[in-house]
């Protein structure tokens, strides 16, 4: 579904992502792990169009999407969340999800100003859909809250809700469990599984090894921008390169 071919990006002298190749099959939960500064977020930024790679190709569903603008990539079916929460903080929780519906609705400026029948119909469909997504993400009772007033964990869930509203084929999650407590993490694992069960392919960056090892089907390990290992969770836990990269301490599971 998503293929990376020798993707490289340089920031001045620093090679943040170095000749990374990977193939992510439709329907899997694919983990991307590595120490801080390994280049995981940068790789997300390349896939989602924030950065154009210095060299290499990103191919999604048979289409070359290398260097395409983020809004176009979202339109093609890749949606993401951010490591540093990036909500529309003064909008309500429901409005954040409504914005997420942008690519899956069509009303232009004139129908919106005139509130044509079609526009009103679309608006009520979109609202209904957004409320359902909030229910799915367990945020239904917070719909009228201003986004910045949510707790940290709730804000992370809202980011996922907003991303789901664009009906992605593939969802990129950048450290979705950061700042969550144990119970929240367990619920999150369950939610990610449920999203995956809907047929959405998931690319997951996460530092919580227990969570990663529990829910991913395949894992790719980055270190200093390079891919150092690839395999299923069991293989990764035994991999010598990986153990060494994590300071010889092995991976805490």
Partner 1 sequence: MLTKIKNNKVAGIAVLLIAVIIAVMLRERYLALILCFICINSIAVTGLDILFGYTGQVSFGHAGFYAIGAYTSTLLAKNFGMNPLFTIIIGMIVAMIFGIIVAFPAAKLVKHFLSLLTIAFGQMVFMFVSVTDKLTNGYSGILNIPDVSIFGHPIKTNQAYFFFLLLITAVVLLFKRNLINSRVGRAFIAIRENPHAANGIGINVRFYKIVAFAASAMLTGLAGALYAHLVGFISPDTFMATQSNLFMTMLLFGGIATFLGPVIGSAILVIVTELMQSLVSYQMLMYALFILAVLFYLPNGVVGIAKWVKESLINKKQGKTHANATERHN
Ligand X SMILES: Nc1ncnc2c1ncn2[C@@H]1O[C@H](COP(=O)(O)OP(=O)(O)O)[C@@H](O)[C@H]1O
Residues that bind partner 1 (CB under 8 A): 48, 50, 69-71, 74-75, 79-80, 82, 86-91, 95, 98-103, 105-109, 112-115, 119, 122-123, 126, 162-163, 166
Q: How far is the CB of 204 from ligand X (least distance, A)?
A: 13
Q: How far is the CB of 134 from ligand X (least distance, A)?
A: 28
Could you say which residues in the range 33-72 bind ligand X, by CB under 6 A?
Answer: 34, 36-42
Select the binding partner of residue 166 from partner 1, ligand X, Mg ion, none (C-beta < 5 to 8 A, by kind): partner 1
38 binds, among partner 1, Mg ion, ligand X, none (CB under 5 to 8 A by kind): ligand X
231 binds, among ligand X, Mg ion, partner 1, none (CB under 5 to 8 A by kind): none
Q: Which of residues 14-33 bind ligand X (CB under 6 A)?
A: 14, 16
| Closest separation in Å from C-beta 202 to partner 1 | 17
Write a three-state SS string for the chain: CEEEEEEEEEECCEEEEEEEEEEECCCCEEEEECCCCCCHHHHHHHHCCCCCCCEEEEEECCEECCCCCHHHHHHHCEEECCCCCCCCCCCEHHHHHHHHCHHHCCCCHHHHHHCCHHHHHHHHHHHHHHHHHHHHCCCHHHCCCEHHHCCHHHHHHHHHHHHHHCCCCEEEEECCCCCCCHHHHHHHHHHHHHHHHCCCEEEEECCCHHHHHHHCCEEEEEECCEEEEEECHHHHHHCHHHHHHCCCCCCCC
Q: How far is the CB of 50 from partner 1 (least distance, A)?
A: 7
The answer to whether the Cα torsion of 167, 171, 175, 176 is positive or negative is positive
Least Å distance between CB 188 and partner 1?
A: 21
Which of residues 10 and 127 has its CB atom nearest to ligand X in the complex? 10
**Could you list the residues that contact Mg ion (CB under 5 A)?**
41, 83
Which residues contact ligand X by CB under 6 A? 11, 14, 16, 34, 36-42
């Amino acid at each position: 579904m998503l293929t990376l071919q020798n993707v490289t990006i340089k920031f001045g002298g620093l090679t943040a992502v170095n000749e990374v190749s990977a193939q992510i099959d439709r329907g899997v939960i694919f983990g991307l792990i590595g120490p801080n500064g390994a280049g995981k977020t940068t790789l997300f930024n390349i896939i989602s169009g924030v950065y154009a790679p210095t060299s290499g190709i990103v191919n999604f569903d048979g289409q070359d999407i290398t260097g395409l603008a983020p809004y176009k990539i979202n339109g093609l079916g890749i949606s993401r969340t951010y490591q540093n929460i990036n909500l529309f903080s003064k909008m309500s929780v429901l409005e954040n999800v409504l914005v997420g519906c942008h690519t899956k609705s069509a009303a232009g400026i004139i129908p919106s100003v005139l509130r044509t029948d079609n526009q009103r119909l679309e608006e009520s469909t979109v609202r209904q859909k957004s409320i359902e997504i909030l229910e799915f993400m367990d945020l239904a009772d917070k719909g009228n809250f201003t986004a910045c007033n949510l707790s940290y964990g709730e804000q992370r869930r809202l980011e996922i809700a907003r991303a789901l509203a664009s009906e992605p084929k593939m969802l990129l999650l950048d450290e979705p469990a950061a700042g969550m407590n144990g119970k929240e993490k367990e619920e999150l694992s369950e939610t990610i599984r449920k999203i995956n069960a809907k047929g959405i392919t998931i690319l997951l960056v996460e530092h919580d090894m227990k969570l990663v090892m529990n829910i991913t089907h395949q894992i790719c390990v980055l270190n200093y921008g390079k891919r150092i290992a690839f395999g299923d969770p069991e293989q990764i836990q035994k991999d010598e390169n990986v153990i060494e990269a994590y300071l010889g301490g092995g991976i805490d599971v």
